[in-house]
Amino acid sequence: MPGKQQRPEGPKHDASYKNFFTHSQTVQDTLLAAAGELARHLDFATLERLPDSFVTRTLGQRHTDMLWRIGTTGGGWVYILILLEFQSTVDRRMALRIMDYTSTIWMRLGREDLGPGGEYPLVLPVVIYNGERRWTAAQDVADLLPPVPKELLGYQPRQRYLLIEIRAQDPDSLPPDNVLAMIARFEQAPTAEALEELVGSLADGVAAVKEPDLAATFLVWITQVLTQRFGPAGRELQRKLRNQEDGTMSTLIERARKWGEERDQLWLQKGIEKGIERERELVHRMVSRRFGPGTAEQLLPVLERISEQEDIARVADAVVECDSAEEFRRRVREG
């Protein structure tokens, strides 16, 4: 419509960022790295993700937002609202959005979700930002309001959100196998050559992650970032990572096979054919997680016909690049 401002479209690898934050290890590592003393009070064994259907029904959210729940060491729950921001311009009204989202979540909770005295749980809003510019928007809704006399301070709302700027993180201050640190190292690499130097050490860190699907997510995301950020140089490095067999640098494809071998002894016993089957299973799970079991079941006949790893990789790329199940199915049909 005339005069209506369109939200800037983010890069295609934004969807793979969401895949990172569908894994509990990423959420745990992010809170341990950025939430300070608050993280000491969280029981990470209780961390669970709420379904996308709840988030959409409650907040009408974009596909890049999600909601987790975690118990505290003193009893009770904390709801972790994760918003992924990839805009070229900073949203100066973010604090207002956060206050709106928080109150809406509280309103939609059932009686069984409240404390013994009817207390509402804490909502911890986390904004993950990977833009080139530094984030300059107010992080507390009170900072959007004018100064008031001290007698009116009690009527002024306050709520903060936890801001995590990926490109402002100090990866060296975090454990090498921290997922947030690994993402930050890759995002902060200035050239394709620097990325190539990172590949070996990054693969070592990813090999230590506890969730096999998270390792596959890294593999897909890295190939997307290479092409998105570095054009022809990135595509050349991507081809090298896909095709190089035995050399001085372990390729990400070969490392991905190794992750599978370490985590799935059945694959190791049945050889390379089982390796292909394992990759099919990983892609099938990625589709189910992203677009639902129905779309994943429709994909099965296509996967069964695929015998080349390059073709499987193309389907995996489509999982993170497509914004909807319909777009994904169309791309797979055309591909």
Helix, strand, coil shares of the chain, percent, nearest 5, are 60, 10, 30
pLDDT for 57 beyond 50: yes
pLDDT at 323: 74
Q: Is the pLDDT of residue 294 over 90?
A: no
Query: Crossing angle, helix 252-263 and helix 212-243, to 10 degrees?
Result: 150
Q: Which residue has the higher pLDDT, 248 or 144?
A: 144
User: CA-to-CA distance for 205 and 252, rounded, in angstroms?
Assistant: 12
pLDDT of residue 130: 82
pLDDT of residue 266: 37
Q: What is the pLDDT of residues 15-54, one digit of tens each?
A: 667 788 888 989 999 999 888 888 999 999 999 998 877 7
Strands 122-129 and 77-85, sheet pairing? parallel
The winner for highest mean pLDDT among 123-127, 149-153, 270-274, 279-283 is: 123-127
> Of 150-154, 234-238, 264-268, where does mean pLDDT reach its minimum?
264-268
Q: Mean pLDDT across the chain, nearest whole number?
A: 75
Percent of the chain at pLDDT > 90 equals 22
pLDDT band per the 50, 70, 90 thresholds, residue 231: low
Alpha-carbon dihedral angle through residues 254, 182, 196, 16, given to the nearest 10 degrees: 70
Write the DSSP string, 23-46: SHHHHHHHHHHHSGGGGGGEEEEE
Q: Which residues contact 180 (CB under 8 A, 6 or more apart)?
A: 26, 29, 30, 33, 34, 164, 166, 169, 174
Q: What is the per-residue pLDDT for 297? A: 86
Which residues are within 8 A (CB) of 2 and not within 5 positions of it... i.e. 6 or more apart?
none
Question: pLDDT per residue over 239-290, tens digit each?
Answer: 555 554 333 334 443 443 443 344 333 333 343 444 567 677 778 877 887 7
Contact 126, 183 (CB under 8 A): no
Q: What is the pTM of this model?
A: 0.67
> What pLDDT score was predicted for residue 135?
92
Integer angstrom CA distances of residue 275 from 128, 223, 312, 314: 34, 20, 12, 17
Strongest mean pLDDT among 57-71, 160-174, 181-195: 160-174
Judge whether residue 58 has pLDDT over 70. Answer: no
Query: Quick one: pLDDT at residue 327?
Result: 86
Which one-letter DSSP state was computed for residue 169?
A: -
- How is the chain split into domains, by residue range? 14-143+150-173, 190-256, 264-325
pLDDT at 287: 83
Distance of alpha carbon 133 from alpha carbon 165, whole angstroms: 10
Per-residue confidence at 232, pLDDT binned at 50, 70, 90? low
Q: Where are the beta strands (DSSP E) in 50-147?
A: 65-72, 77-85, 122-129
Whether the per-residue pLDDT at 160 is higher than 90: the answer is yes
Q: What is the DSSP letter of 299?
A: H
Distance CA 152, CA 174 (A): 42
**Residue 179, both tokens:** 């997922």
